[in-house]
Amino acid sequence: MARSRRSWAPLLLLLLAGPAACAASPADDGAGPGGRGPRGSARGDSGGDEAVPRHDSSYGTFAGEFYDLRYLSEEGYPFPTAPPVDPFAKIKVDDCGKTKGCFRYGKPGCNAETCDYFLSYRMIGADVEFELSADTDGWVAVGFSSDKKMGGDDVMACVHDDNGRVRIQHFYNVGQWAKEIQRNPARDEEGVFENNRVTCRFKRPVNVPRDETIVDLHLSWYYLFAWGPAIQGSITRHDIDSPPTSERVVSIYKYEDIFMPSAAYQTFSSPFCLLLIVALTFYLLMGTP
């Protein structure tokens, strides 16, 4: 039994060698009398071996390919892999007021990574590209309204689900309740959840005809800004009782860079507080009588 196993190797090598081994045989070389080849035809005869398929060559090719796949791949030859996914490109705030419009809500001087809420918009052909970001682990949204109140509003939201993905969803406000609409105008969607922030980018057509839940962005609207937690990928009530809104209607054809201080930074910006500060300063400078 051991002898038969040892005799396996030369036979296997001979089979894998295919046409090379056969070419070395004197019988196949046609060296006999008359210079005849294996089929009795002269070497110079054009109707010889070329007219007859060589089964040994095809077998050798198959054996060689089988050996490569079965053995060489196990030695570390790489197999094709899926191309890498492009990372989410950070939102550029240097373009705000120049090539795109921006809204910032939070600390003075904040950017897309530090504001409580950030929104940008710009025209790209027949689409508007929106970028949203908020300090939340749930959702961030923008609503388009004919007034500054919720109700009958077209809303686009970026929702962070339990699988770590950020999905773009379309809602329609019915009173204080947001109803998801299956017809979603968003395309070229991308989003990321990093550093406890939900950030996304998407496009939507300027105008979607014959749909009452999708407003015509050719017209000017008040923008409603909101963000909040999510439970199992479903949005819940926004973080603050009175989410910020744009002070006036917004035109997608006018790029502005608008900052709105959050509640923590509004104390000294109210007219009453400014008047009180001026009065106190005047009293200190003049002194008591």
CA distance 143 to 179: 13
Query: In the predicted model, is pLDDT for residue 155 greater than 60?
Result: yes
Locate the DSSP E strands across 69-209.
101-106, 117-124, 127-134, 139-145, 154-160, 166-174, 177-180, 187-194, 197-205
Find all residues with CB under 8 Å of 181, minimum gap 6, and list them.
170, 171, 172, 213
Q: How many CB atoms lie within 10 A of CB 77?
A: 10
Q: Are 175 and 151 in contact (CB under 8 A)?
A: yes
Query: In the predicted model, is pLDDT for residue 43 greater than 60?
Result: no
CA distance 260 to 183: 32
Which pLDDT band holds residue 151 (cuts at 50, 70, 90)? Answer: confident
Query: How far out from the chain centre does Cα 3 lie?
Result: 62
**Interior CA angle at 222 toward 197 and 170, to 5°?**
55
Closest CA to 247 of 222, 282, 283, 211: 222
Which pLDDT band holds residue 27 (cuts at 50, 70, 90)? Answer: very low
Which pLDDT band holds residue 142 (cuts at 50, 70, 90)? Answer: very high
pLDDT of residue 103: 97
Which pTM was predicted? 0.64
pLDDT of residue 230: 87
Q: What is the mean pLDDT of residues 151-160?
A: 93
Task: HSE, CB side, 13 Å, CA atoms: give it for residue 187.
Answer: 8
Q: Hey, is 80 helix, strand or coil?
A: coil
- Phi, then psi, of 222 in degrees rounded to 5: -75, 140
Interval 225-274: pLDDT, tens: 999 998 877 777 876 778 899 999 999 999 999 999 998 887 655 555 55
pLDDT of residue 81: 55
Query: In the predicted model, is pLDDT for residue 128 greater than 70?
Result: yes
pLDDT of residue 57: 55
Q: What is the mean pLDDT of residues 216-232?
A: 93
